[in-house]
Amino acid sequence: MKDIFDKTDHFKERENILSHLLYGNPNDCPNPLVSVIMPVYNRPDTFPASLASVLNQQCDFPFEVVVVDNKADVDRTESQDIVEATGAKNIMYYRNAENIGMYDNWNRGIWLSRGKYYTYCHDDDILLPGALQRLIDLQKQIGEKKCIFSKYNMIDAEDNYIRKYEYPHKKGLLKEQDYYNYTLFDHFVGPIAVGVGCLFNRECALEIGGYDREYYPCSDIAFQARYTYYYGSVVNNIPTFNYRVSINDSRNIDVILKIQEMTCVVRKCIQRKLHFPDLILNLHTNAMYRLTPWIMTDKFLVSDKTRLKPYRSYDPSVKKFFMSLSRNKGFSLFK
């Protein structure tokens, strides 16, 4: 397996498979600043609300919605019906000639987008109304190339909050800042987001090659660490989206065990870039390897934990120590 910092061009690997524009005209939405990429696949129950949350963004700049439908085995999909029913002129609806898989579909969205910046909204998640404006306002402060990872809320299938992130948090006299720098060490400690409600520079994403399916189901984690390594990143502490915990791969115990293995691979790649003794960093790498499936099953409300191996008694303390080194910099005595 190659290093996650390799710049292989993964956009070209599926270039022979066409994506047909079936709704929308780029001339009706010239010069969008941001492209909201919506990879869709057979979720007609949640897609309308997700799409509406994107179309209802309150911002003072033009944006486009790039819907890339990966359901290629029918003549027409329900997703296309949902798009056409909106009548919106800033939607470009594409359908792939073949199913190219999840991460290649994410790459296809980047390739087809026209904005200087892009973000994602998956077909079961919800962008909060001021998300795009917040991201662009912050981008103006940090520069063009850094990416922005955002905090988020978690909701269930009925839109009830499982976790709501209240900004700002306080730690004693310390107050949470609206953003802070996120380093490669922070990626080593733990991934921050899933791409939804975040902001990336399109040209930078093209330059570093996009998502590598070889790291499934952690290709997004690998890509985000690579992006930070080359261009830098910040964390936006003001939530920009609601992440829906629904029936998907993240709740599959086999996928969770695969995540356990792959996050360890990614973490070891990052570890080799850090200027710290392996003896120290291995404490966290090994602790997180044992803890990851337990964290995932708790996060995604998976009740069957019979196949999980026990972690060691000191692992949570190791995790907490490294997390304190990573996250406390988001707080200050001054707002």
* Model pLDDT for residues 191-225, shown as the tens digit of each residue: 876 899 999 999 999 999 999 999 999 999 999 99
Neighbour count for residue 162 (Cβ, 10 Å): 15
Tokens of 146: 């850094």
Range 12-251: architecture per CATH: Alpha-Beta Complex (3.90)
The answer on pLDDT for 249 being more than 60 is no
Band (245; pLDDT cuts 50, 70, 90)? confident
Name the residue ranges covered by the structural domains of the chain: 12-251
Q: Answer whether 163's CB lies under 8 Å from 279's CB.
A: no
Residue 142 and residue 169: Cα distance in Å, rounded?
22
Neighbour count for residue 10 (Cβ, 10 Å): 21
SS3 category, 181: strand
Q: What percent of the chain has pLDDT over 70?
A: 96
> Radius of gyration of the chain from Cα atoms?
20
Quote the Cα angle for 117-120-123, to 5°.
155
* Model pLDDT for residues 257-279, shown as the tens digit of each residue: 999 999 999 999 999 999 999 99
The answer on pLDDT for 15 being more than 80 is yes
Residue 257 and residue 297: Cα distance in Å, rounded?
10
**How deeply is 253 buried, as exposed, middle or buried, from its count of CB atoms within 10 A (0-12, 13-18, 19+)?**
middle
- Comparing CA positions, the residue from 170, 127, 156 lying closest to residue 244 is 156
Residue 276 and residue 122: Cα distance in Å, rounded?
37
Rounded to two decimals, the pTM is: 0.95
Residue 31 and residue 14: Cα distance in Å, rounded?
26
Band (326; pLDDT cuts 50, 70, 90)? confident
